Amino acid sequence: MTQESKIPVAELRHRQPRYQAIEPGHRACLGCGQALAVRLVSEATGPDIIVANATGCLEIFTTPWPESAWKVPWMHSLFENTGAIASGIEAALKAQGKTTKVVAMGGDGGTFDIGFQALSGMLERDHNVLYVCYDNEAYMNTGVQRSGSTPHAAMTNTSPPGRERMGKRHLKKDVINIVASHHIPYAATAAVAYPSDLRKKVRRALAVDGPTFLQIHAPCPLGWGHDGSKSVEIGRLAVETGLYPLIELERGELTGVMPIRHPRPVVDYLKAQQRFRHLFADDARAREELEHLQAIADHNIEMYGLRSSGDDPLDTDGSDTVRRGGARWA
């Protein structure tokens, strides 16, 4: 018996390289949550996919002309038409009797805002496409401008804090429930900080015949103002505070959540990022905004029933989503 054969099977599986849709050597920033998210998504999809990719950070750092980091068929779409491009690819494959899955990818700018009309049409027409939104909560590749996904009170170059307001005045758009209202078979939120949960949700979406949607929390060191080595830690805090609930919806109904065993105060998450530094000044308005953000987190925890009883290991401490009714994804 060789020494290699004595290694436990579980460790051998861990050593086995997973499939990657993009090659190493792309030009993402150090600690980019979106780059990590693409890696996790492609590990779950495998190679039999065609990607429609909206203009944005992902398109920029993977395809600087004349190079490309992609190992799968890939098409660059505009901000506004990714849903339409993906619909056309899916229709062509269907007409040819092919089963290759179409995966549309976009940032929050190309999903929440500019591209939402085409996305809504794709969902309403029931195209068999998985749409993945990499949510870094602003227009990052054009200079960190606010988007519909930017959280309330966050500082961007177009929502600076000052005498009139303390960062962005408006609430983050609830795109997951807007998408779910199209009565699609499956929609879910995920986070790069919980890779096992993310991959399971991708596999679940791929198994569904019809349009599916996945919104992935992807910290951006450049736009959020944190060290690149802290991206996963900050991503966990977003979930543990309740500001970014991890949920699943089928035909508009809530069917799964990741419970929070030990909810953290929102200040733990906010203090770790420069985009919220103005909220920690000795100012009555800043204190009011901190209370507002805590109230948003508390509301999410109550609305989705995220608080864990403490006796279920499959929560934020165990990194898994709990199905309603006691069942769980395999």
pTM of the model: 0.90
**Of 180, 204, 172, nearest in space to 296 by CA:** 172
Cα end-to-end span (Å), the chain: 34
> Using one digit for the tens of pLDDT, what is the confidence trace for 18-36?
677 888 889 999 999 999 9
> Using one digit for the tens of pLDDT, what is the confidence trace for 248-294?
999 999 999 999 999 999 999 999 999 999 999 999 999 999 999 99
Could you give all domains of the chain from N- to C-terminal order, each with its CATH number? 12-321 (3.40.50.970)
Give the C-alpha distances (Å, rounded to integers) separating 256 from 148, 290, 315: 25, 29, 11
Q: Which two tokens stand for residue 118?
A: 């085409």
In our burial notation (b when 16+ CB lie closer than 10 A, e otherwise), range 95-109 reads eeeeeebbbbbbbbb
> Using one digit for the tens of pLDDT, what is the confidence trace for 136-161?
999 999 999 999 999 999 999 999 99
pLDDT of residue 115: 97
DSSP conformational letter for 211: -
> Using one digit for the tens of pLDDT, what is the confidence trace for 39-92?
999 999 999 999 999 999 999 999 999 999 999 999 999 999 999 999 999 999
Chain centre to alpha carbon of residue 144: 18
Q: Is the pLDDT of residue 329 over 50?
A: no
Give the C-alpha distances (Å, rounded to integers) separating 207 from 44, 128, 210: 11, 10, 9
**Strand (E) or helix (H) holding 212:** strand 212-217
How many residues belong to the chain?
A: 330
> Using one digit for the tens of pLDDT, what is the confidence trace for 184-198?
999 999 999 999 999
pLDDT of residue 34: 97
Residues 6+ apart with CB under 8 A from 243: 151, 266, 269, 293, 296, 297, 300
**Of 63, 64, 68, 22, nearest in space to 42 by CA:** 22
